Structure 1
Amino acid sequence: MLETDKAFTGSIPENYDRYMVPLIFEPFAADLARRAASLSPGAVLEIAAGTGVVTRVLAPKLSPGASYVVSDLNQPMLDYAASRQAPDSRITWRQADAMALPFEDAAFDVVCCQFGAMFFPNRSAAYREAKRVLKPGGHFLFNVWDRIEENVFADDVTNALARMFPDDPPRFLARTPHGYHDTALIRGDLEDAGFTHVVIETRAEQSRASSPRLPAVAYCKGTVLRSEIEARDAGKLEAATDYAAAAIAERHGSGEVAAKIQAHVVVALA
């Protein structure tokens, strides 16, 4: 992962929430929230919360007396998440680095993280921090994307941009969001961090959009892929988006489109 892969700034948070969240994140957020709520936690920490898609689903499922700390390394993403959330005295918003969580030992019953582990510079260190702030017997719940070939629209966009920029193809999607899919590696990283009981489930969903342009806009303007495109040619963002949309239309049709998305869901016991 490159340092720039973490730069969700400018208009990216808004476009991310507007386009990416309904396209690929909502079904997995519902799954993660259901799993977390089923544990009846009194204290929850969410790390790498992004624009708050899990927060919006999980908060109504928690008990009136629960506490819920929502954190992200990226302040613009966290600010956007807070702006989307109804007032809730149980929620505390906190800028925090997963590598060095600013919380006491054994403070939480559940730590959850939706599609954030791929961005951790040192995953074993982040997992040790998650274990440190969990109470004994607490649960660490997170998900990561499977390989890009199992996530069709992301693969379509990546292949299209490789044709458009053959000398220096933008590889953000394959490198980072879809770059941490080896379940043996994930299990090993968690065991290195001290987790002894790890269950990994591979889960497929459908990504749906009203037109082929929507996934193109989502990936090209709602992720750091935008920065990669503009770094290659500052004036080609619209052309790249159009090119990706045309590639999706050629493969999936010009009306409503649907394609497979797939992720690994991980539950680790502290």
Structure 2
Amino acid sequence: MTISADIENGAPATSAPPFDEGMAELYQTLLVPILFAPYATEMAIAADQSKPGSVLELAAGTGALTRALRATLDPPTEIVATDLSQAMIDIGAPTVTMSRTHWMHADAQNLPFAPEMFDLVICQFGAMFFPDKVKAYSEAERVLRSKGRFLFSTWDSLSVNDFASCVDECLAGLFPSDPPDFLRRLPYSYFDPGAIKAQMSSAGFEAVTCDRLELTSVAASAHDVAAAFCQGTLLRGEIEWRAPERMSEIVDEVAERVEARHGTRPSGGMSALVVAGRVS
């Protein structure tokens, strides 16, 4: 049976995270070019090394990596991009309409695919959000063919990611008694190579590597950086809960801090870990 046929028969995911359409649009418009597009290029190059014929992408978001994969991999390669958020898929799917590219609503911890369907499973900055990482990694192992690879990226610590740490510090100053902690609690919380390798090994992967990749992020304006983080991520809910009528004012204050530290056309360092493993 082909991958396309299996997709048509797949079961949908049962739940979705709280990304609404407005947040997904800001994510795509601002956060993708600032943070995700530079890493997508590098991840696609790494993916192409094994010349996979079929690729499953987990936590595809609005398709930053999907677009890079489609531009880099051989045209016959079949790509299945999945995400738990339908709002993200609704924004991303229209941007990649080439043949052999499919979009699905799916949970990485309970993939709706038969065993040994893919040559490569790939995930850019999604693993941090998996509640049960070993279960998600085990699912990736299950759907990979013999000698298949699992490749994913995760953010390094907050302290070595300039824009994110600047936003976090500013919000801590604005809410000293109860600072929003989304950034340090989730996206920038999963960077211990030893723990990551152990979880990958527990899921059945061999020859696990974990390499640091440092890149530079450039934004059109400090306000873009502030809006990207404060309104284009789940940090928005934490800010609105604390100050429901002050979002515009808070974005402006964060933008002032970013501009003071990183300039009117901000440039800052980013650091991530790129993890790879293979099945026997």
Scaled to the shorter chain, the TM-score interval is over 0.9
How far off its partner does 1:100 sit? Answer: 0.5
- Shift of the 66–10 alpha-carbon distance from structure 1 to 2, 3 Å rule, reads closer
Pairwise CA RMSD: 1.2
Contact 2:21 2:88 in 1 (8 A): no
Deviation digits for residues 35-73 of structure 1, max 9, x if unmatched?
112211111100100000011111133333321111001
- Partner of 1:35 in structure 2? 46
Q: Does 1:202 align with 2:215?
A: no
Q: Does 1:110 align with 2:120?
A: yes
Q: Does 1:169 align with 2:179?
A: yes
Q: Helix, strand or coil for the counterpart of 2:167?
A: helix
Q: In percent, how many aligned pairs have the same letter? A: 42
Normalising by the residue count of structure 1, what TM-score does the alignment of the two structures yield?
0.95
Q: Helix, strand or coil for the counterpart of 2:21?
A: coil
| Correspondence for 2:226 among 202, 216, 228 | 216
Contact 1:123 1:189 in 2 (8 A): yes
Contact 1:144 1:264 in 2 (8 A): yes
Q: Does 1:62 align with 2:73?
A: yes
Cα distance in 2 for residues equivalent to 1:33 and 1:25: 12
Unaligned runs of 5+ in 1: none
Cα distance in 2 for residues equivalent to 1:249 and 1:91: 39
Cα distance in 2 for residues equivalent to 1:250 and 1:232: 25
Q: Does 1:229 align with 2:225?
A: no
Cα distance in 2 for residues equivalent to 1:14 and 1:111: 26
| Correspondence for 2:59 among 48, 57, 60 | 48
- Partner of 1:83 in structure 2? 94
* Amino acid in structure 2 at the alignment position of 1:140: F
How far off its partner does 1:209 sit? Answer: 1.4
Contact 1:212 1:248 in 2 (8 A): yes
- Shift of the 80–10 alpha-carbon distance from structure 1 to 2, 3 Å rule, reads closer
4+ residue segments displaced more than 3 Å: none
| Correspondence for 1:256 among 265, 277, 280 | 265
Contact 2:58 2:121 in 1 (8 A): yes
- Partner of 1:265 in structure 2? 274
* Amino acid in structure 1 at the alignment position of 2:214: A
* Amino acid in structure 1 at the alignment position of 2:277: A
Cα distance in 2 for residues equivalent to 1:137 and 1:236: 52
Cα distance in 2 for residues equivalent to 1:158 and 1:26: 22
- Report how many aligned residue pairs link the two structures: 264
* Amino acid in structure 1 at the alignment position of 2:221: S
